[in-house]
Amino acid sequence: MTDRPITHLRHVDLAVPDLETEHAFYTGLWGLTETASDSGVSFLAAEGSPEQYVVRLRKAADKRIDLIAFGAASRADVDALAGRLVADGVRLVHEPKDLDTPGGGYGVRFFDAEGRTVEVSADVATRTHRRIEERESIPVRLSHVVVNSADPLATVAFYEKHLGFRVSDMLMHPHMGTMMWFLRCNDWHHSFAVARGPHAALHHASFELRGLDEYMRGSGRLMRAGIEKIWGPGRHLAGNNTFSYFLDPQGNTVEYTTELETVDEDTWHPSTYDFTQPEVSDQWGTANRMDEFVAKKSFNDPDKGLFVAPPL
């Protein structure tokens, strides 16, 4: 196994008290497709992605992140990663084993530094997917997942040390210090990010659309439907991607994006951007102003699943 065992982001799994309303949002307005379901659990795919699913919804009394899942190149890499985690004192949820979720595969689960459950898997069967056509404003893939952390330096260090992520860029505030770290596991600018927050929680999950026109059409569809828009439309400087942030029915922030930057590993050097500068937050100047009230929308509720493995 190399020092970078992770190949890509697979899916984010959420527990929600109101599954029916959440399911209707993601399969209706948001544009995902249910591929499997069973007794209070729904697996939702992006039509343009070979992943079996990019979001899993589970009915539960408490709202939480059930799981963040990443891919590995081989079973041997999963085994090697598990061995390294154990040697470093990381607490496993389960040893590497065959998985019984859609697509199967072979994976290990463990807790990160703050207690989120993480899965790394290989040999998951790919899903028959398709090209997203012009003007079709539905997600192509899950782009990235961002978490709030009360101890972001430790969280970033965990993903760097144990999973081989690298920092692409950072956002800072002149009076509060570094506030966000963008982490990559491949040549996408970021597949994961850590935001400084008051507690551990989901900050947002982001979904890539086909292009600018599809991104704007999707953003408009949500706005016309009266879904609360937090921030956007605009274009960030770090990552150079577009953004429109909305709240799902359970208060989780979800993003439509497109044109996320890819980086050259041999020449890339991380930058630290002051996000109080308007062009850092939004190069276009089209989004509503980012302030403390907008930022608090993505603090989310404290995650009640820390160091508690999901039941499936």
- Using 50, 70 and 90 to split pLDDT, how confident is the model at 3? confident
Q: What architecture is domain 141-297?
A: Roll (3.10)
Mind listing the pLDDT tens digit for each residue in 168-186?
999 999 999 999 999 999 9
Q: Answer whether residue 250 shows pLDDT above 70.
A: yes
Q: How far apart are CA 244 and CA 257, in angstroms?
A: 7
Q: How far apart are CA 195 and CA 217, in angstroms?
A: 28
Q: Average pLDDT in the 3-27 region?
A: 97
Mind listing the pLDDT tens digit for each residue in 53-81?
999 999 999 999 999 999 999 999 999 99
Q: In a 3-state reduction of DSSP, which class is residue 144? A: strand
Give the phi and the psi of residue 204 in degrees, each rounded to 5. Answer: -165, 160
**Nearest residue to 55 via CA among 29, 28, 33:** 33
CATH superfamily ID and name for 6-122:
2,3-Dihydroxybiphenyl 1,2-Dioxygenase, domain 1 (3.10.180.10)
Mind listing the pLDDT tens digit for each residue in 127-136?
999 999 999 9
For the entire predicted model, the pTM comes to 0.97
In 209-299 the beta strands, taken as DSSP E runs, fall at 229-235, 242-247, 253-257, 271-274
Give residues with Cβ within 8 angstroms of 209, minimum separation 6: 132, 137, 138, 139, 140, 215, 218, 256, 257, 258
As a dihedral over the C-alpha atoms of residue 225, residue 231, residue 236, residue 239, rounded to 10 degrees, the angle is -70
Q: Average pLDDT in the 91-113 region?
A: 98
Q: Average pLDDT in the 12-31 region?
A: 98
- Using 50, 70 and 90 to split pLDDT, how confident is the model at 261? very high
Same fold? 6-122, 141-297: yes
| Contact (CB, 8 A) for 113 and 151 | yes
Sorted by where each begins, the domain ranges of the chain are 6-122, 141-297
Mean pLDDT computed over every residue of the chain: 97
